[in-house]
Amino acid sequence: MNLLEDYYRYIELNLARRKGMDKPIFLIASLTLAIMFVMAYYLATTGWMSSVGDIFNTTVNNYQPEPGGSGG
């Protein structure tokens, strides 16, 4: 979490140089993007997406159409 604090401090130092009312907007946007990337990386590395894919694969593979339907 030290890296995250350095990142926040870097953003704050950059925003302190700016003058005007747009400072909080940039701060909120950058923090939101950082949190989104962290969550996407967490979901991609914990195997959550692959387990969802396995669920879809098993439902598709186990699908048995009812007899008497059209086609097939």
Cα–Cα separations (whole angstroms), residue 66 to 15, 37, 42, 71, 72: 63, 44, 40, 11, 11
**pLDDT tens-digit profile of 28-70?**
888 899 999 988 888 777 777 777 778 888 888 877 777 776 6
Rounded Cα gap, residues 44 and 31, in angstroms: 20
Confidence band for 1, pLDDT divided at 50, 70 and 90: low
- The one-letter amino acid code at 15 reads L
pLDDT at 16 over 80: no
Beta strands in the chain (DSSP E): none
